[in-house]
Structure 1
Amino acid sequence: MDFTFTEDQLAFREAISRFLMTEAPPEMLREIWDTDDGRSPELRGKMAEQGLTALSVPEAQGGLGMDDIAWSLLTQELGYYAIADSLADTAYVATGLLSALPEGTPRRDEMLSRIAEGNVRIAVGHSVNPLIADVHLADVVLLEHEGEVHGLRRDAIGFERNPSIDSSRRLSRVSFTPSADSLVLDAGQGRAVWAQTLNRGALAVAGQSLGLAQRMLDLSVDYAVQRKQFGKPIGSFQAVKHHLADVAGKIEFARPVLYRAAHALAHGEAGADLHVSHAKLACCEAAWLAGRHGIQVHGAMGYTWEVDLQMFMKRAWALDSSWGDRAFHKSRVANAILAPDAAIGPQYTFAE
């Protein structure tokens, strides 16, 4: 079995990385986040032109038809460059939800086509998230109610803005009244769709967290090379090396876990819940450690607004509990591996 990425997947990732490096530097993000909306329509339009919004939309609706494995690469880039929630929520999570709806569902194909074109924002509200990202700009809000899928325009719901420690996040607490007009899918079919949506949301956070961890490690290494004490770069001191090596190790152990979860989702494996929760825990732990050790390497300066590290550190903190906190995902892992019939062992990793 070949586990390597295709040339197209790697080329797409490299192209997106170069694009975001140019179009979304930290100084530009600071300016965007200082605005009331916290979003840039110009940047969103450029990302749509690059094909980001069309990535997983089916080809029949004008998309590229790529799967969760491709997103496991892309979300790392979104994390590395601290791109806000709305892109992944619309282009990946909402697209997956809409694609899972039965064919013929009203407005399904229309919404998928609009996502591919990049001219719609969709916010997704799952019961695991008390706060929903980017409702204030969403054209459509997809919400869960007792397993049902409801779709409403923003002006048909009530929402209260909630501040976040992460300047890139725009969170709201939503209230709405379910009705026959807003119902998209009943609870019988909706629960399975929401279970997939939860896994995609958690996988998106895992990928972004891994990208954040890598960015914080890179920033810390750069600082350790430039900052000198006693006439030597602090990176030459053994204690600093150990901190950075610990982070590098966490990242390298988390990355294959992320890819394993993406493979499970893409192929509809029965154990996808376990793999996604494992990835969420491993990647968020890597990001948490990268932030903690990054602060120790930078000293008190790492907390200040002028230093880039704090942007990525705060985002890692905020995303840690998004789409299920650690207790939730540890519980899913425990339920899977402690089950009487649990398939534990290397021979079960991939079915032949």
Structure 2
Amino acid sequence: MDFTISLEQRQFSESLHDFLRGADTPAAARAWAGGDHEPGLKLWRDLGEIGVAALLVPDEFGGLGAGATDAVLAFEALGYHCVPGPVVETAVVVPTLLTGDDARRWLPELATGNEVATVFAPPQVPLALDADIAALTLRIGQGRVDRVDGELEPVRSIDPTRRLFRVRGDGVPVSAAAGEPAVDLGTLAVAAQLLGAGRRLLDLAGEYAKQRHQYGKPIGQYQAIKHLLADVVTGLELARPLAYGAAVAAEAGAGTVARDVSAAKVAAADAAYRAARTALQVHGAIGYTAEHDLGLWLTKVRALAGAWGSGAVHRRRVLAALKGDK
């Protein structure tokens, strides 16, 4: 497998980071958590203008027709900057799922960022993210994909920016490809978000370790702090190739995609969780305050680690693949 990132992909990633640095995403995330969606929706429309929402939408529907590797690059950046909303569902799952007339109806609008969509796929993804503002809600399961416009029951999330809903009601079948590959791509995008969030937590901890002084010098000069941060770096650097390997496998249509995606999700979740614990330890008491931006990434990692399949679910999938179980 070739994991090399092309110059064009690197430039896209850098331009996306540059844009998001100036977008005040923490403010948009806090507004989203408080019920004000307009800053987040405007941010998504702006991202649509630079092609993020259109990455996996086929060319014929106004998209870029890019691949899973491009999606991983983009979602690392979205995770690093804590972009709120159903971005995985809108930009990854639905564009790779819908076909025929339903694709013609929905994908052009999703590609521009003017509309958002959400999905749920019991039992792995039992709740729909931001279903109250989504123009399209899809249920994946039992060999079919349905559009559901039913009763919404809010479910409390550990991350206030992840507004979860239980959707009840009958579904109307839509024209769609097989659901499992789309769910795998969604899981991979979540793994990429975790990698980005973990990297942001590492950067926040590193910056704070240079600023906070004890016994006359920055705490970052103490060996114990260096060891903690080094462990975070190691975990993230070991997890990242698994995500890109899964993306390459998905693009090649390899038979190992399910295993590779699950391995990436487990490694990314573990690495990001270590980053969260370390960042909180380095910050000390200030890291617990609601006013500090650190909390946005702490709760994001905690929520995403169990989203789109828990660690136990994905470890079982990896084990089954290694054993050759059907």
Percentage of pairs with the same residue: 38
- Once the two structures are TM-superposed, the CA of residue 39 in structure 1 deviates from its matched residue by 5.8
SS at 2:56 equivalent:
coil
Question: Does structure 2 conserve the Cα–Cα contact (< 8 Å) formed by 1:57 and 1:95?
Answer: yes
- Once the two structures are TM-superposed, the CA of residue 9 in structure 1 deviates from its matched residue by 1.2
- Once the two structures are TM-superposed, the CA of residue 248 in structure 1 deviates from its matched residue by 0.4
Count residues with an aligned counterpart.
Answer: 325
Question: Residue 62 in 1 paired to residue 62 in 2?
Answer: yes
Instruction: Give the structure 2 partner of residue 345 of structure 1.
Output: none
Instruction: Give the structure 2 partner of residue 253 of structure 1.
Output: 238
Instruction: Give the structure 2 partner of residue 293 of structure 1.
Output: 278
Instruction: Give the structure 1 partner of residue 219 of structure 2.
Output: 234
| 2:203 paired residue among 218, 223, 227 | 218
| 1:165 paired residue among 148, 158, 163 | 158
Quick one: which amino acid aligns to residue 282 of structure 2? V
Matches of 2:277 and 2:38 in 1, distance apart? 26
- Once the two structures are TM-superposed, the CA of residue 43 in structure 1 deviates from its matched residue by 1.7
Q: Write the mapping of 1:271-290 to structure 2, written as runs, cut at 5 A.
A: 271-290=256-275
So what's the TM-score if we normalise by structure 1?
0.88
- Once the two structures are TM-superposed, the CA of residue 336 in structure 1 deviates from its matched residue by 1.0
SS at 1:151 equivalent:
strand
Question: Does structure 1 conserve the Cα–Cα contact (< 8 Å) formed by 2:40 and 2:83?
Answer: no
Instruction: Give the structure 2 partner of residue 4 of structure 1.
Output: 4
Instruction: Give the structure 2 partner of residue 126 of structure 1.
Output: 121
Matches of 1:87 and 1:24 in 2, distance apart? 17
Matches of 1:11 and 1:238 in 2, distance apart? 36
- Once the two structures are TM-superposed, the CA of residue 279 in structure 1 deviates from its matched residue by 0.2
| 1:205 paired residue among 172, 179, 190 | 190
Question: Residue 136 in 1 paired to residue 126 in 2?
Answer: no
Question: Does structure 1 conserve the Cα–Cα contact (< 8 Å) formed by 2:45 and 2:112?
Answer: no
* Structural RMSD (CA): 1.8
- Once the two structures are TM-superposed, the CA of residue 249 in structure 1 deviates from its matched residue by 0.4
- Once the two structures are TM-superposed, the CA of residue 231 in structure 1 deviates from its matched residue by 0.5
Question: Residue 113 in 1 paired to residue 98 in 2?
Answer: no
Instruction: Give the structure 2 partner of residue 312 of structure 1.
Output: 297
SS at 1:161 equivalent:
strand
- Once the two structures are TM-superposed, the CA of residue 35 in structure 1 deviates from its matched residue by 2.9
Matches of 2:41 and 2:264 in 1, distance apart? 32
SS at 1:248 equivalent:
helix
SS at 2:86 equivalent:
helix
Question: Does structure 2 conserve the Cα–Cα contact (< 8 Å) formed by 1:33 and 1:39?
Answer: no
What 5-or-longer segments of structure 1 have no aligned partner? 342-352
SS at 1:40 equivalent:
helix
Question: Does structure 2 conserve the Cα–Cα contact (< 8 Å) formed by 1:86 and 1:134?
Answer: yes
What 5-or-longer segments of structure 2 have no aligned partner? none
SS at 1:135 equivalent:
coil
- After TM superposition, the structure 1 stretch with the greater mean CA deviation from structure 2, 81-90 or 194-203, is 81-90
Distance change >3 Å, CA 107–CA 293, structure 1 → 2 = same
So what's the TM-score if we normalise by structure 2?
0.95
